[in-house]
Structure 1
Amino acid sequence: MAAIGISGIEKNYGPIPVLRGIDLDIADGEFVVLVGPSGCGKSTLLRLIAGLEAIDRGELRIAGRRVNELAPKDRDLAMVFQSYALYPHMTVADNMSYALRLRRTPKDKVAAALAAASAKLGLERLTERKPRALSGGQRQRVAMGRAIVRHPQAFLFDEPLSNLDARLREQMRFEIRKLHRDLGATSVYVTHDQIEAMTMADRIVAMNEGVIQQVGTPAELYDTPANLFVAGFIGSPAMNVLQGEVVAGEGGTTVRIGGAVLASVSPGTRPGPVTLGVRPERIALTAPGDGATATVELVEPTGLATIVHLDLGGQPVKTFTTERLSLKAGEPVGLRLEAGGLSLFAPETGERLVAAKA
């Protein structure tokens, strides 16, 4: 396996910049997820690593070796695509072993690699079937098995679960993560699904408009988003974003919305207009008059928990609680924030304010 180093990489399609100075170091054996909305450049970056696109500027190193000019076959990487890309006329065994047979690998080694990969992926009884006789999840396992038998330096995953239903995606997330643990393989995984990113990654790379917005562990991006884009993209339900004001007075420095005190913050926080970020589960519902007062707009029971949509001074707010609530639309409730549950962002730039912790 190998580390991947990305330095100042840029990519343009004609006059349109797609990647703008990407710097990223991926450690040997690390599972890194590139996440962001459609068109943010994450799949383009993966294709540059694979060698399927040419790099306009910057340097790409795999295991310390510059590979900008190397053809894909010479980079020793394995890619798993969204579309599976299986040969329909070949059996599972032939699809998985095709690359080894092209290299004229001895038959005994092909058989051993095929048996090991099939066992890891639960495909032992399916090796003589053709793709049309497999489910979507089974086809995706075959695509992963084809990558595993090659023993590459790194695995590249391009939204491999997008074609599966919700239950299969959950199962395959577990299987891919378990496979990574067993192989210790360097893996780069592209998705637009922040749930996949949060549950699978050692580190997440959040991208938008061809720029890396933040790199960190799932907990770091969730708890301390670097800007409003990360705050809104990571988390389900999404972080509440509100407009308020920081006021310094004799009783301390507070954040207010419409005159109501929402929380106390660090005395070093700059007074004036501010954008607030609050995770729905960090808001406690209380009796009217206890904390800031809001009005119930909609209640969404999900079985596991309840999402309550509120109006706070003309601004929408969501709360997320495991309590079974019997609230009605139009009913007033009180809101209180949990300690440390508030993020503050500069209204002008959307960047996180450091001196914001309560």
Structure 2
Amino acid sequence: MITYGSPRSRRSLLATEVRGVVATGAGRPVETTTVRVPDPGSGEALVRVQACGVCHTDLHYREGGVSTDFPFLLGHEAAGVVEAVGSDVTDLDVGDFVVLNWRAVCGRCRACLRGRPQYCFDTHNAAQPMTLADGTPLSPALGIGAFAERTLVHSGQCTRVDPSASPVVAGLLGCGVMAGFGAAVNTGGVGPGDSVAVIGCGGVGDGAVLGAAAVGARRVIAVDKDPRKLEWAREFGATHTVNAAETDTVEGIRAATGGVGADVVVEAVGSPNTYEQAFYARDLAGTVVLVGVPTPDMRLDLPFLDVFARGGALKSSWYGDCLPSRDFPALVEMSLQGRLPLEKFVTERIGLDEVEQAFDRMSRGEVLRSVVVL
């Protein structure tokens, strides 16, 4: 049995048929087609998706850059309302407004048992597959698959937040904004008075700019080759900008920090070249945070003596090292208080049938975030 319609009503359902955006093969245009979503089983929840951001990771899935386990049900940066839960789900109610997350912690792995659930090594997804109309199983992007009118997830992937928040804004915390914000604040440990540089000012990079500004960094230096993106970064709190097409990145960051380099440099590109720039653009004993995602073929070559002599820390940030149950409600509350201008990330609102065109605009750098509204 499942809980459906209200927290107290229980009845069984047939599988739900919805429209969803599917990638059928590497490089092929996505298709909007019928998706069958099963009733929630043990530990699962059925969520009516209200909004889902178009993230670059979805494009990676379409291109076969994440996996070749096609077909994929794309979309993962989403918010919506819980419509049904499995009978053993006790921490979630029908009607809850939730942001979906792709790192539902298990509570039992060695990271969780050491009090570090943000590093959980055994995160949960729904056990049952969603399928095409002919029964072909779908691989949901990041275990979510939210370019669909409804999706099936593990209940732990649902994080309750204040229902007065806009789904269009709240859903952005499900991936890019949280990854960038957390890279600066959680992984980088940025605090009041620090100097911070962010290389790459797309959605993740601007999340890092926003996070650094929100916690009181003294200087926030945005680096990109696109003047449009540098202007966006200023709207999120950048105090200085460096146009990498015109100025050497390392020299530009040093010039903005009195010649010494930044306390924390967030690399949001995922390139060996920009990582090397981040390495040399930090102050002695400074911190580099890699949140940009490299491809499997990339290699890094740094003088080993420089790694030793410059000291500090070289870190990678997984999902902004966030704990959704802690961070999502807090950031939503800050947004509602007017302290985080999350709405500025939303360049356009689109329908399910416009995802392919949104990928094109994203690739050309014309949008910060397209958001599918259902």
TM-score, normalising length from structure 1? 0.28
**Whose strand fraction is larger, Structure 1's or Structure 2's?**
1
Greater CA radius of gyration, 1 or 2?
1
More helix by share: 2
